[in-house]
């Protein structure tokens, strides 16, 4: 039961925290990526994931890490976004990676267009005093892609083996 609760709550909670952190501070702490990595290994081992499958997930995470850090080096994404994307790929492996990347590109594009439009309007006087909103509104500010990454991850997560392995009937009886 504890394993099922961890599968159900850990990943979504960390993704929600990453999105909120990026929205309010334009940064994602390394602790989020470390917690995602540690959570993956803990649940993979506790859940009896085969060593080959663990290595496959590590390969997906490593591939995304290389690509994401190339994008970071080019100035296209932030370092926290790159690490979170790689951590999500670690959880999803190659099985759900393309779905995640497709959603991330769609939500990232929509977020970018929304923020570009938002930044064209003046901030209402009552909201201008909110530091996080002023930072989000600033034209020289980046795009908090952690929001798109988290939303994409939460869209894909219900289709993963992590969620399919949860015995919901057993959880409901407790």
Q: In this structure, are residues 67 and 89 in contact, taking their beta carbons and an 8 Å threshold?
A: no
Alpha-carbon distance of 19 to 26, in angstroms, equals 9
Q: 154 lies in which domain range?
A: 2-173
Question: Within the chain, which residues score under 50 in pLDDT?
Answer: none
Give residue 130's pLDDT.
Answer: 87
As given in the structure block, the two tokens for residue 39 are: 């959570």
Give residue 139's pLDDT.
Answer: 86
Q: How many residues does the chain have?
A: 174
pLDDT digit string, tens, across residues 3-35: 888 998 999 999 999 999 999 999 999 999 999
Alpha-carbon distance of 3 to 10, in angstroms, equals 10
Give residue 72's pLDDT.
Answer: 94
How many structural domains compose the chain?
Answer: 1
As given in the structure block, the two tokens for residue 83 are: 């690490």
**CB-neighbour burial class of residue 78 (10 A; exposed 0-12, middle 13-18, buried 19+):** buried
């Amino acid at each position: 039961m504890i394993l099922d609760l961890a599968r159900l709550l850990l990943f979504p909670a960390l993704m929600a925290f990453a999105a909120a952190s990026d929205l309010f501070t334009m940064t994602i702490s390394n602790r989020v990526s470390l917690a995602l990595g540690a959570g993956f290994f803990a649940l993979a081992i506790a859940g009896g994931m085969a060593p080959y499958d663990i290595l496959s997930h590590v390969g997906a995470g490593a591939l995304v890490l290389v690509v994401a850090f190339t994008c970071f080096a080019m100035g296209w994404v932030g370092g926290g976004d790159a690490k979170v994307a790689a951590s999500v790929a670690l959880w999803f492996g190659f099985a759900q990676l393309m779905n995640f990347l497709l959603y991330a590109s769609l939500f990232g594009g929509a977020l970018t267009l929304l923020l570009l439009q938002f930044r064209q309007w003046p901030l209402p006087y009552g909201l201008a005093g909110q530091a996080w909103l002023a930072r989000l509104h600033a034209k020289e500010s980046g795009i908090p892609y952690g929001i798109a990454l988290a939303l994409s991850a939460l869209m894909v997560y219900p289709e993963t083996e992590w969620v399919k392995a949860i015995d919901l009937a057993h959880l409901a009886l407790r």
